[in-house]
Structure 1
Amino acid sequence: MLAAIRRRRILDLLARHEYVTVGEACTATGASMATTQRDLAHLATAGALTRIRGGATRPATARDEESNLVACLTRAGRAAGIQDLATVETELRQALDACRRLRDHPASAPVSPRR
């Protein structure tokens, strides 16, 4: 089967399910584990899916990233209130990662500051 057809089948699986395992993708495409891993890597590089251990999920939306950013900043604020600086650092790092993903997200538009 052609790579484009295999990859389309993998994306069709993800359209129906929140995540797909490598085994499910192998069964759907009839490809070997190694070929399926390469297909998943290719699709992840293209931003069509997100790799997870043992398979893949749909890519995060800009709204998911915004929610993640708000949650990280909220947790950082709480940790600062009790002077847990290690947690503050961890949460701020995660918030920065979320900001980078939002900046690079294909569907993200400039966000106006909330007042």
Structure 2
Amino acid sequence: MLPSVRHQRIIELLAQREFVTTTDIRQVTGASLATTQRDLTALARSGALTRLHGGATPAAPHGETRLLAAYLARGRHALDRHDLSGVEHALQQALEACARIRRAAPRPRRSAVTQVAGEPPVLHRQPPAQRQCPDRDQVD
């Protein structure tokens, strides 16, 4: 299969799911793991997706990231003018843009991902007690 066809299939798969694994992509394209990883790297460089360990998610829309930068700049300018209502308004807009970006490109971190065929992935985060640092006396 040609790289352009594989890339199109990967993009179509990402349009259906929030996260795809390299195994999912290999099943759809029939490509080897090395070829799949090269395809994901090429698509990530072009901005078509966000690469994660073991798979990929859709890329955040560029328009949203530009809006976020503009809202944050407005907030800084309002702060320089001591315009607290302007700061509050700009930060509220920035938070809304962050939420839209996050929904478009979720990035699971330090989580186990479980996926049942045809279902969206389920993230299992460790409880906070398991993520805490050990006592100093317990560390070599």
Give the TM-score normalised by structure 1: 0.55
- Please name the residue that 1:38 is paired with: 38
2:64 and 2:48 map into 1 onto residues whose CA distance is 17
Q: Percent identity?
A: 49
For 1:19, give the aligned amino acid: F
Higher helix share: 1
**What is the letter of the counterpart of residue 19 of structure 2?**
Y
Structure 1 residue 15, shift from structure 2 partner: 0.7
Cα deviation for residue 31 of structure 1 reads 0.3
Structure 1 match to 2:21: 21
Match of 1:63 in 2: 64
Unaligned stretches of 5+ residues in structure 1:
74-115
Give the match for residue 106 of structure 1.
none
Letter in 1 for 2:25: A
4+ residue runs over 2 A deviation: 61-67
Take 1:63 and 1:47, find their aligned partners in 2: how far apart are those partners? 14
The match for 2:53 is: 53
1:19 deviation in Å?
Answer: 1.4
Count how many residue pairs are aligned between Structure 1 and Structure 2.
70
1:42 deviates by: 0.4
Q: Once the 2 structures are TM-superposed, how far is the Cα of residue 45 of structure 1 from its aligned partner?
A: 0.5
Larger radius of gyration: 2
1:28-60: per-residue Cα shift (whole Å, max 9, x none)?
A: 100000000000000000110010111010001
Q: Which residue of 2 aligns with 1:78?
A: none
Q: Distance in 2 between matches of 1:58 and 1:64?
A: 14
